Chains A and B, each alone.
Chain A
Amino acid sequence: MARILIVGATSAIAIASARLFAARGDDLVLAARNEERLGSLAADLRVRGAGAVDTVSFMAQPQQDYQGFAGRVWDQGLDCLLLAHGSLRSQDRCQDDVTASRREFEVNALSTICLLAAFAGRFAEQGAGNMVVISSVAGDRGRQSNYLYGSAKAAVSTYCQGLRNRMHSSGVRVITIKPGFVDTPMTAGFEKGLLWTQPEQIASGILRALERGSDVVYLPWFWRYIMLVIRLIPERWFKRLSL
């Protein structure tokens, strides 16, 4: 039985993961913005077998007191931290809007980095545990259709790389999850094709990564190769593509 904190707990991938944790009987701390939603999710996870389920309000915004938040939920320590919050607003609508760009970056990059900064010392001192961060394949290369979200995820992925390097000696694992296209409320407006995956598949990939102690995981696996090809295209050609 592990004690797991999930930030962005009401997101689809988080819910699917939380249900797998619940089935194992884990204790869960759920953090998200909407407390009514958190309440019904917590009830559901209890029915599905979770041990203790606590909820705590969390907002990915500058006013959030990250240290205070970490202090409140740390309590007897955590076995696992799963950062699953995020926002995907339309690139078209945000790209020339300074305020919207800043808000998107705040939610997708800064808040994640602040959370990791607030918890890293605690995990290091504990000398064990997993810090799992949901980044995205979008962070592997900037594309005109998605570079605001992509650059935030790139920041997160690189931050995790460094953190993993730092934490290695203290026995704490940092796992970067890079999902491809996932059919969730966040992507409700997209046409779905063959490459799309359900959040439940991503969730089982996350649990597998935890068991194996992976470092960077593409979900599903084939995205590793798709992104490899995309990263290999020389910039002088890439800039002409409409991706």
Chain B
Amino acid sequence: MRSWGGLPEHPQRSRSLNWRDELAECWDEPTLAVGAGRSYGDCGLAASGEVLCTTGMNRMLQFDQNSGVLRCEAGVSLGDILRHTVPAGWILPVLPGTQYVTVAGAIANDVHGKNHHGFGTFGRHVKSLLLQRSDRELIECSAGNRSEWFSASIAGLGLTGVILQAELQLKPVAGAWLQCDTVRFRELAEFFALSEESDQNYEYTVAWIDCLHARSRGIFSRAWHIEDARPAPLREPRFRVPFTPPLSPVNRFTLRAFNSLYYHRQRLRGHPDTIPLGDWFFPLDSIGSWNRLYGSRGFRQYQCVVPAPVVRDLLAIIRRSAQGSFLAVLKTFGDLQSPGLMSFPRPGVTLALDFPWRGSATLELFAQLDAVVGSNDGAIYPAKDAHMQGADFRRAYPAWETVERLRDPRLKSLLWQRVTEDS
């Protein structure tokens, strides 16, 4: 098994965990329980090279249609949940950019979505967790019960024990459709103005930017749920990248062309579209295995959160490096606090970009970005990371020591080894 970004060079051995009783036999070697393998970097890879894949533990155990509380196993995918709860009038309050991640993965990384300004992170909607420790202890925890375990496990990168089950509070939804509109912005200042205005009035907001363009033009999208009884099942990918091409079609020239095309093809304000929720939340899921487009060397994502004015500096560095990305996303985070101790979102603007992996050239660029992020008290997102320096991690996530104290001695990721054992 490899991570979404194509790490590591030698794939890790994976063992399937389909039933919780099988876990008893899995503790001989140090390991790491992982979900769908959608984390980009090395937080979903085991330091020992042996991962426990939990996607077979995908049973929904109880769903109360009156209260919207769902109890399910760790490996259920968010898409699987939506398929069953949306027709019943309930939706996961926080959805990341892909439906394929598992519940436990969403909890361990405390993922966020396009409504962070209104609903915070995924972890805010977790009512309780069931953890299995390697010493056979079973820990049921919530905000009010053994809360130390609860807050260390949300955004806990899967280290405090194997998450077996979770109880989630869903949100009522009137249907499977959203209304969305898009507005072009010609420069960053317009983005900030749009974001400030829209976050007060729109449930979901996100922006795509053309990071190769001198003034960082882009497209601001916003959406809101509408009442519409027509069913809109989540779609299967319309196209699947069948293999990893030896040469990546993603390069400076195709990127420039792509970005230009994408920018100009967008419709202008005043023409709201009605779209199925899957198309709004998971646009990239329409291309199966899109990560293969980056060729056999794979790619890295850089996602950080910084105070708004710093975004300009980061974009300037990226433009100068002439390494760019098609998937460049900007989103303003709100100030809703997550229960998770090591949660990534914090007030500021988050910038996420994909870079084709070019070895030292990419690392040099990341080092320049890291310096800016670090000196402005920003943070890098562990779920996307494969390069962050230990010192930067420990500064941005000071609660790491609590997590380390509660970490199960049998569980360790490559990321954790990298960022906590380098001093």
Interface of A is mostly: helix
Q: Indicate if B73 sits at the interface (CB-CB under 8 A).
A: yes
Query: A residues within 8 A CB of B18?
Result: 12, 185
Among residues of B, the one whose C-beta sits closest to the C-beta of A41 is B59
- Within 58-99 of B, Cβ neighbours of A (below 8 Å) are at 59-63, 73, 84
A19 to B21, CA, bound (A): 22
Chain B residues numbered 3-26 whose CB sits less than 8 Å from any CB in chain A:
15-16, 18-21
B334 at the interface (CB under 8 A from A): no
A43 in contact (CB, < 8 A)? yes
Given known A40-B73, A47-B84, contact A188–B60 (CB-CB < 8 A): no
| B residues near A48, Cβ cutoff 8 Å | 60, 84
Does B62 contact A43, Cβ atoms closer than 8 Å?
Answer: yes
In this assembly, does B409 line the interface, its C-beta being within 8 Å of a C-beta of chain A?
no
The closest CB in chain B to the CB of A36 belongs to: B21
Within 8 A of B (CB), among A31-47: 34, 36-37, 40-41, 43-44, 47
Q: Does B307 contact A (CB under 8 A)?
A: no
A-B Cβ contacts below 8 A, count:
35
Q: Is B56 among interface residues, defined by CB-CB distance under 8 A?
A: yes
Q: B59 to chain A: which residues have CB within 8 Å?
A: 40-41, 43-44
Is A47 touching B63 in the complex (CB atoms < 8 A)?
yes
User: How near does chain A come to B244, taking the closest CB pair, in angstroms?
Assistant: 15
Residues of A within 8 A of B61 (CB): 40, 43-44, 47
A41 proximity list for chain B (CB < 8 A)? 59
Contact B21 A37 (CB under 8 A): yes
**Residue pair A188, B16 in contact (C-beta under 8 Å):** yes
A-side contacts of B16, CB under 8 Å: 185, 188
A10 to B56, CA, bound (A): 11
Determine the distance from Cα of A40 to Cα of B75 in the docked complex, in whole angstroms. 13
Residues of chain A with a CB closer than 8 A to B84's CB: 47-49
User: Which residues on the B side are within 8 Å of A49 (C-beta)?
Assistant: 84
| B21–A34 CB distance below 8 A | yes
From 13 to 70 in chain A, residues with beta carbon under 8 angstroms from any chain B beta carbon are 34, 36-37, 40-41, 43-44, 47-49
Determine which of B15, B19, B21, B60 lies in contact with A47 in the assembled complex, contact meaning CB atoms within 8 Å: B60
Number of interface residues of A (CB under 8 A): 14
Find A185's partner among B56, B60, B62, B73 (CB 8 Å cutoff): B56
Task: State in angstroms the CA–CA spacing of A10 and B84 once bound together.
Answer: 21
Bound form: Cα–Cα A34–B16 in Å: 18
What is the bound-complex CA distance between A10 and B18, given in angstroms? 10
CA distance A34 to B18 in the complex (A): 13
Residue of A nearest to B61 (CB): A43
Residues of B within 8 A of A37 (CB): 19, 21
For the complex formed, measure the closest distance between the CB of A45 and the CB atoms of chain B, giving whole angstroms.
Answer: 9
CB closest chain-B residue, reference A185: B18
Residue numbers in B under 8 Å from A40 (CB-CB): 19-20, 59, 61, 73
Q: Indicate the member of B19, B20, B59, B62 with the most A CB atoms within 10 Å.
A: B59
Give min CB distance, A235 to chain B, whole Å: 38
- The chain B residue with its CB closest to the CB of A43 is B61
CB distance from B101 to the nearest CB of A (A): 19
Q: How far is the CB of B149 from chain A (nearest CB, A)?
A: 23
Question: In the bound complex, what is the Cα–Cα distance between A184 and B63 (angstroms)?
Answer: 27
Residues on B with C-beta less than 8 A from A185 are 16, 18, 56
Residues in B neighbouring A36, C-beta threshold 8 A: 19, 21
Identity of the chain A residue whose Cβ is nearest the Cβ of B22 in the assembled complex: A185
Q: Give the complex CA separation of A152 and B21 in angstroms.
A: 29
Compute how far the CA of A188 lies from the CA of B53 in the bound complex, rounded to whole angstroms. Answer: 12
Given contacts A185-B16, A185-B18, A188-B16, contact A47 B56 (CB under 8 A): no
Which residues of B are found within 8 Å of A43, using beta-carbon distances? 59-62
A36 to B21, CA, bound (A): 9
Of chain A, the residue at the smallest CB distance from B17 is: A185
Distance A49 CA – B80 CA, assembled complex (angstroms): 13
Of residues A12, A34, A47, A188, which shows the largest number of chain B Cβ atoms within 10 Å of its Cβ?
Answer: A47
A-B pairs, top 8 by smallest CB distance, nearest first, are A44-B59, A47-B60, A43-B61, A47-B63, A40-B59, A37-B19, A44-B60, A185-B18
Q: List the interface of chain A (C-beta within 8 A of B).
A: 10, 12, 34, 36-37, 40-41, 43-44, 47-49, 185, 188
Known contacts A44-B59, A47-B63; 14 additional CB pairs below 8 A are: A12-B18, A12-B56, A34-B19, A36-B21, A37-B19, A40-B20, A40-B59, A44-B60, A47-B60, A47-B84, A48-B60, A185-B16, A185-B18, A188-B15
Cβ contacts A to B, 19 pairs, < 8 Å: A10-B19, A36-B19, A37-B21, A40-B19, A40-B20, A40-B61, A41-B59, A43-B59, A43-B60, A44-B60, A47-B62, A47-B63, A48-B60, A48-B84, A185-B16, A185-B18, A185-B56, A188-B15, A188-B16
